Amino acid sequence: MKLVVANESHFKYAQDICDTIEESAKVRGTGIAKRTPEYIQKKLQNGNAVIALDGEIFAGFCYIEVWGHGKYVANSGLIVHPNFRGQGLAKKIKQRVFDLSKEKFPDAKIFGITTGLAVMKINYELGYKPVTFSELTDDPEFWKGCQTCKNFDILTRTEQKLCLCTGMLHDPKAKPEVKKDKVNSKAFKRLRSIKESLFLKRKASPSPSQGGK
C-alpha cells in the first residue's frame, strides 16, 4: 500500500473517488457535500491531496481545502474503498494529509466538520478539539459547499451556527492538551444523538399556523 501526495498522473481515479464518497454516504444514511471529478482533479493537480494505492488500485483519498486567505485549511473528502476498510487505512491517510497541511500551511488552523464517529475519533487523536461553528472559517464559499448535503436546511435554520455535523479544530498555536489513553466514543455518540433528536424531530414537526392569539 502506497500513500502518496497526488498529482496529475492520478486524474484517472477522480471518478472512482467521487463514486466511493457518494456510495459511502448512502450506506451510512448521512448527509454529504457532493464532489465532481473536475473538482477532485483540481486538488490532485495542485498537490493538495493524498491518495492511497494498492499497486494501481484505488484504496483511499483525502484532500486539503484552503479558506480565509490561508488562515484556515480543511482536510476533507476522507474516504476508504470498501475493499480496504478495517485495516486502519483511514487513520494513516488522515495522518498523512494532516502532516501535509502543516508542511504547506504551517500557520493555518486545521479544521473539519463530520457526522462520522470514526473520523471524530481520528481527529481527536491528531489533536483536534470539538468547537462551535463560530470558531471555524466564515468564508461563505466553504459553507456554500454544504448546499448539496441533505441536511443543509438545518444549517440554514440555525443561521449557520449548528448542524448534525460536529466541527473540530486544530490550532497550531494552542497549548497541547494532555489526552487520555482512550477516546471517549460514548461522548461523541451522545453528542450526535442529541443533535439528531433536536434537529430531525423539529424538522418532522408540522409548521405552526400563522397568526397570533
* Edge-to-edge order in the sheet of strand 109-114: 2-5, 49-54, 57-67, 72-80, 109-114, 166-170, 129-131
Residues 183-197: tens digit of each pLDDT: 566 666 666 666 666
Spatial contact of 117 and 185, defined as CB atoms under 8 Å apart = yes
Whether 27 shows a pLDDT value over 80: the answer reads no
Percent of the chain with pLDDT over 90: 51
Rounded-to-integer distance, Cα 43 and Cα 49, Å: 6
pTM of the model: 0.78
pLDDT of residue 198: 61
pLDDT in tens, 139-153: 888 888 788 777 888
Query: Checking phi first, is residue 29 left (phi over 0); if not, alpha (psi -120 to 50) or beta?
Result: left
Domain 2-204 class?
A: alpha beta
- Quick one: pLDDT at residue 161? 85
